[in-house]
Amino acid sequence: MKGADLAELFGLAALWGASFLFMRMGATEFGPVALAAVRVSGAALCLLPLLLARGQMGVLRTHWRPIFVVGLTNSAVPFLCFSYAALSITAGLSSIFNAATPLFGAVIAWLWLKDRLTPSRIAGLGIGFAGVSWLAWGKASFKPGGSGWAVVACLLATLFYGWSASYAKKRLAGVAPLAVATGSQLSAALALVLPAVWWWPAANPSPAAWATAAMLAVLCTAVAYIVFFRLIAHIGPANAIAVTFLIPVFAVVWGWLFLAEGLTMAMLFGCAAILLGTGLATGLLRLPARGIVQP
């Protein structure tokens, strides 16, 4: 991997890690529905001119139905879930749950697309889901003031991410990535506009909250998508998915720097298990092969 590609990989992890910080900062004033709607609407406004400049609007029109589904399952619902979770759990913890996305993706791809599960991948799924269970067990309190529903929201978001990956592979293989990215944000914006109007906050958000939402839309969504697809083109999807390992690191650091959030031992162990499981489940890591003893 070239130095420039490595720098982009770390930059993308920093942007997506910051998204959990910005959701934490903006969800209180906007509410989860309005914040998710502003995020996808701003991203769509940034990406549409680029799509027009590349002459790919025809691609969007041709494949609008599956792109609309991806917009719902890969943006609207997950962004809404994580914005809701940001009301009660830390940015770092949300990002650690998000790191479980490839685990759900591997299971769904096995069930739906008949992807082969090697012993390493099966071990990775077991380790990864054990880490998720470890974290969820300690946080899933459904008593008043508890964060149980926030944990459920995070896991629901990762489940939708995992399903969306298989759906896109099945229905959108070979479609221009920029058309998928732009169309999915536009579709998510259309899906969330009426709920956002209905649940718009009674008090208009402060300029600081608007600035937070703008950074979430422009930097963490529009720019991040562009960087991600550049990385896929330059280093391939298998290497680009390594960003999953880096996002929680940046999210924890941003939360510590700007919100004075801490990192508990439970979060540390759970994160390590999820990332190890993700590495094995996605094939980035492999269990050592058993050697054959010669007589």
Residue 291: the pLDDT is 46
- Kindly report, residue by residue over 161-191, the tens digit of the pLDDT: 989 988 988 899 888 889 999 999 999 999 9
Residue carrying the six token digits 């839309």: 217
Q: Would you say 125 and 106 are in contact if contact means Cβ atoms under 8 Å apart?
A: yes
108-129: per-residue pLDDT in tens?
A: 888 888 888 888 888 988 998 8
| Predicted pLDDT at 42 | 97
242 φ, ψ (degrees, to nearest 5): -60, -15
pLDDT in tens, 75-101: 999 999 999 999 999 999 999 899 888
Q: Which two tokens stand for residue 226?
A: 């562009």
Longest dimension (CA), the chain: 79
The pLDDT of residue 141 is 55
- Mean pLDDT over each residue of the chain, to the nearest integer: 88
Q: How confident is the model at residue 295 (pLDDT cuts 50, 70, 90)?
A: very low
Q: How many Å apart are CA 265 and CA 254, to the nearest integer?
A: 18
Q: Is the pLDDT of residue 144 over 70?
A: no
In 10 A of CB 284, how many CB atoms? 17
Return the half-sphere exposure (C-beta side, CA atoms, 13 A cut-off) of residue 232: 11
As given in the structure block, the two tokens for residue 218 are 């422009």
Binned at pLDDT 50, 70 and 90, residue 58 comes out as very high
pLDDT band at 238 (very low <50, low <70, confident <90, very high): low
What would the mean pLDDT of 240-251 be, rounded to a whole number? 83
pLDDT at position 146, please? 59
Reading phi first (left if > 0) and then psi (alpha if -120 to 50, else beta), residue 261 is in: beta
**Average pLDDT of 228-255?**
80
Q: Token pair of 153, please?
A: 């929201």
Q: Where are the alpha helices (DSSP H) in the chain?
A: 3-30, 32-53, 57-62, 64-71, 77-85, 91-98, 101-112, 119-139, 148-171, 177-198, 207-217, 224-235, 237-240, 243-259, 265-281
Neighbouring C-beta atoms of residue 166, cutoff 10 Å: 20
pLDDT of residue 293: 41
How far is Cα 93 from Cα 248, in angstroms, rounded to an integer?
8
Task: State both tokens at 222.
Answer: 């529009």
Specify the pLDDT at position 290.
Answer: 55
Q: Return the HEC string of 223-283.
A: HHHHHHHHHHHHHCHHHHCCHHHHHHHHHHHHHHHHHCCCCCHHHHHHHHHHHHHHHHHCC
